[in-house]
Structure 1
Amino acid sequence: MTVESTAARKPRKRSTGARKASPKASPGAPQSEPELVQLLTPEGKRVGHAENAVYDEYVAGITPEELRGLYRDMVLTRRFDAEATSLQRQGELGLWASLLGQEAAQIGSGRATRPDDYVFPTYREHGVAWCRGVDPTNLLGMFRGVNHGGWDPNSNNFHLYTIVIGSQTLHATGYAMGLAKDGADAAVIAYFGDGASSQGDVAESFTFSAVYNAPVVFFCQNNQWAISEPTEKQTRVPLYQRAQGYGFPGVRVDGNDVLACLAVTRWALERARRGEGPTLVEAFTYRMGAHTTSDDPTRYRLDDERLAWEAKDPILRLRTYLESENHADEGFFAELEAESEALGKRVRERVRAMPDPDHFAIFENVYADGHALVDEERAQFAAYQASFADGEGA
């Protein structure tokens, strides 16, 4: 596999537009292999071509223990995600956005961050939250409807989940501009999807980050589908190439290769910390499940497409590599399976034990010093609640 980066100095042929789809393929199906950074093939083979050298050095000294750690991260994240999906189906959560298939992109990039870096997620970055030390059960309060977030962003430098599509890239850019003004030796990473790349907020964040040389990495998880809209309806060129129009580098990485995601994100974050400005990383991956639990992907994509991507499963390829290099034995996998089941049990118990929120909590912390309109609305709501004093309907 080869590297394609707008930061490269060698002249390249101008793109003629989007790849042409095979007549028999559905719009989101993987076509001819894209040019991207890959260090671990779908067959679990370690590769290190000359084009990958600049990124390969960022994982050249990785130890078997660290590799096992990456595998553990992905397995436990997938187990947590599966449990959350089951809890929603059982009526314990109102909604859930699964990351199934995107574990490598999130764990690789998440483990590339330093404690003093700041992360701005969307609503699907459960693996990144895991890497930042956020208790998985804290992610579920918002989806259960018992809080507005569930954790203190400043405790882990991990911002609250952002439901408004693309707005977090502006938040990240502003925060990064502040870091630069303060002379801090830290960087910011903002996560968003291929669909969000069409939002004006993302375009504005690209402009401001470039002009002000902000230390921010834009990490786009291109999972091929913006709900039911394929990437071909979002752009006529590969997403990473959009960066060159704003004056900063763009790199496409195999989003199912945890080593490549780790290496490229480390490179991009170090670039930012050195004062070299923003980078756009496009993690070319796939959403194996539904967009959220309210979505039915069978209505707009084919099973053959999903099966083709399942063959590139990020967890399976790392396990194959670990076994082929004798970096992990059956004891390790058995212990991890037990730990996985224990995590699932803990998540179930914690979610079901979450107390219902105070009905009036919604009016708290809206304004620092209070507000007449909020006071009026609180009084109206109190009167409404009092109307059920007889116990009916409250």
Structure 2
Amino acid sequence: MLGNFSYCNPTKLYFGEDSLNFLNEELPKYGKNVMLSYGGGSIKKNGIYDKVMEILKANGKTVFEDSGVMPNPTTTKLYEGCKIAKENDIDLILAVGGGSVCDYAKAVSVSAYCDENPWDKYYLRMEDVDNKIIPVGCVLTMVGTGSEMNGGAVITNHEQKLKIGHVFGENVFPKFSILNPVFTYTLPQRQMVAGVYDIMNHITEQYFSGEDDNTSDYLMEGLMKSLIYSSRIALVNPTDYEARSNIMWTATWALNTLVAKGKSTDWMVHMIGQAVGAYTDATHGMTLSAVSMAYYRHICPYGLSKFKRFAMNVWNVAPNSKTDEQIATEGLNCMENWMKELGLAMNIRNLGVTEDMLEGIAKSTFIMEGGYKVLTHDEVFEILRASM
């Protein structure tokens, strides 16, 4: 492994069917005022809301509800949450939902006491936090983002047509996260598979970088194989506990910073996908799947040895007498077939992108430098065109 690094992950995880009970162990560590952040109300229909509220009340907490967190949290919603948090002297933000709710909770945690516009400070200038941070805890109901064990917080600014993620330091990581795979059973299939691809792409964004013999690559190959296997089972039987628990656990390890160690990492699929999302508000995982194949086929020649390894070690492509290019291409074809099997979006046109949007999306795409090819604006545009 190349380079020097440090590693620390301060989030405490509680995993399994009885994991919600451990909320009783965490709540006494914080003050009386809890902001309960959640989405459109599905947690009330499936009973999770009642269970959480019962535990909060049993622990003597005063609850301030912050509902309506949308799948792509906006600056408008962020400012609304900051107002609730600051006016009520919130001691803990408890996010109950998927990655968007967890992202949003972390964004509120650093923004409520920010002395200037948090969008400008944290998302445009990417500055560190130098103000009071409200602790965050998560009860996960949808998997994919890994937000339950990292410092990432993605926010969308509709006025500026930008969707930006800020990866904060360990001081912003959730203090604890509760992961009960059963809580994910009621997700619509489209949301489940979008989450599955978000997990896959988190891994490939880190995997397709570097040329050294890196332990992280071996870990990622195992995670990808587990995800592919379990996703096929969950597609047929969404309440298969073993499959859903493996998917949930893989999601956490895909983006809790461990496998990034020793890697330069890529993230261009996320940058292009998030730019698409800023224009369409489409489901995050679907924006990633819609641009992935065009991007990976574009950069494959620049990282041919890793794409060959990906084909052989993840998709079991037999080398036989094939060229390296043929092996790599077969691996990408296997990935594409799996994506189609899951029912993922395979082009951006179906997400609402029109030809006249392409130039604007390309311009709003942030260029990252960790992958095998640093893209030009024209290359981003061509990848978008190929994704139509």
TM-score normalized by the length of structure 1: 0.30
RCO comparison, higher one (Cα < 8 Å, 6+) = 1
More helix by share: 2
TM-score normalized by the length of structure 2: 0.30
